[in-house]
């Protein structure tokens, strides 16, 4: 399974020129603040649109400016773990996980089944009826991961998934994430400011600076 990205997008201060190939396994994306990491992920997910280029997942075109193809986010099969998780504060943990499945029109009993399976897998079933403000940082991250994976994405995008966690929890969640990625066997992109995190979790990395992306070597 592979994801090929070659896109351009004019931003206020520079032009983003993202070019990366991601295979099964985890690819790190590093760079200074404001260099174009999040917007690259958003273009891949389809919540932002590039000005030109192509995004191809296993031969399937998600975006092609010349062919005028631009699949909406719900047709891209991409899981996006947002910076800060973006859980809906007015929905319970359970409802937060169900929302994507509802949007995709799954039947009610299948939604229940899939949500319960995911909550068990991430050890959050006891939190089902609580709201995001009533759970810890690690539990929020588990909820966000469950919400992302319940829709069975083909590609996983993670924007600084550990930045909100303290050091102890960060190491624990890194281990969990590493096991999960190995089990899923899908391409993943991890945006991070930490070389250590990328060295631990990724088998490939890119650097981006003012919108210009280059492959870098892991230590
Ligand atoms: N939709 C948009 N249209 C135009 N410019 C944007 C848009 N979104 C972000 N930008 C600008 O593009 C640049 C890159 O932003 P981006 O959010 O990708 O940075 P980043 O590398 O993820 O930074 P950080 O590490 O701080 O999260 C910034 O200068 C930002 O102000």
31 CB near ligand 1 (under 6 Å): yes
Whole-number pLDDT of residue 5: 97
Structural tokens at position 178: 């590493």
Whole-number pLDDT of residue 85: 86
- Residue span(s) of the chain under CATH 3.40.50.300 come to 1-77+155-219
- Ligand 1, atom 1, residue with closest C-alpha: 48
User: SS3 for 15?
Assistant: strand
Name the residue of 14, 16, 36 whose CB sits within 8 Å of the most ligand 1 atoms, as the mutation to test its pocket. 36
Which residue, 191, 188, 193, 198, is CA-closest to 149? Answer: 188
Whole-number pLDDT of residue 80: 92
Residues 6+ apart with CB under 8 A from 108: none
Torsion sign (Cα): 127, 133, 134, 137: positive
User: SS3 for 24?
Assistant: strand
Question: Which helix (H) or strand (E) segment is 42 a member of?
Answer: helix 37-45
Residue 39 CA to ligand 1 center (angstroms) comes to 6
Per-residue pLDDT of the chain (219 residues; tens, 9 = 90+): 899 999 999 999 999 999 999 999 999 999 999 999 999 999 999 999 999 999 999 999 999 999 999 999 988 999 999 888 889 999 999 999 999 899 888 999 999 999 999 999 888 999 999 999 999 988 998 999 999 999 999 999 999 988 878 888 888 888 888 888 888 889 999 999 999 999 999 999 999 999 999 999 887
Q: Residue with structure tokens 């899908």?
A: 186
Whole-number pLDDT of residue 143: 94
Name the residue of 10, 30, 33, 38 whose CB sits within 8 Å of the most ligand 1 atoms, as the mutation to test its pocket. 38
Longest Cα–Cα distance of the chain, Å, equals 49
> Class of the 1-77+155-219 domain?
alpha beta
Whole-number pLDDT of residue 1: 87
Give Cα separations from 79 to 41, 42, 126 (angstroms): 10, 11, 24
Residue 16 CA to ligand 1 center (angstroms) comes to 10
Q: Residue with structure tokens 């070389």?
A: 195
- Residue 112, burial from CB neighbour count under 10 angstroms (0-12, 13-18, 19+): middle
What does the alpha-carbon distance between residue 176 and residue 173 come to, in Å, rounded to a whole number?
Answer: 5
Whole-number pLDDT of residue 165: 80
- Ligand 1, atom 26, residue with closest C-alpha: 33
ipTM metric: 0.92
User: SS3 for 124?
Assistant: coil
């Amino acid at each position: 399974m592979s994801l090929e990205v070659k896109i351009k997008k004019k931003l206020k201060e520079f032009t983003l020129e993202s070019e990366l190939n991601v295979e099964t396994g985890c690819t790190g994306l590093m760079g200074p603040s404001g260099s174009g990491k999040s917007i690259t992920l958003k273009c891949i997910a389809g919540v932002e649109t590039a000005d030109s280029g192509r995004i191809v997942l296993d031969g399937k075109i998600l975006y092609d400016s010349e062919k005028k193809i631009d699949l909406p986010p719900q047709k891209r099969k991409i899981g996006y773990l947002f910076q800060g998780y973006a859980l809906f504060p007015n929905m319970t943990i359970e409802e937060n996980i169900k929302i994507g499945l509802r949007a995709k029109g799954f039947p009610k009993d299948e939604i229940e089944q899939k949500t319960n399976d995911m909550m068990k897998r991430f050890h959050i079933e006891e939190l089902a009826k609580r709201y995001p403000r009533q759970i810890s940082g690690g539990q929020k991250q588990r909820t966000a991961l469950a919400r992302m994976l319940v829709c069975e994405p083909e590609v996983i995008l993670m924007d600084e998934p550990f930045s909100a966690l303290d050091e102890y929890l960060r190491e624990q969640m890194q281990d969990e994430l590493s096991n999960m990625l190995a089990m899923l066997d899908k391409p993943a992109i991890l945006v991070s400011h930490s070389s250590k995190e990328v060295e631990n979790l990724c088998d490939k990395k890119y650097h981006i600076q003012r919108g210009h992306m280059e492959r870098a070597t892991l230590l």
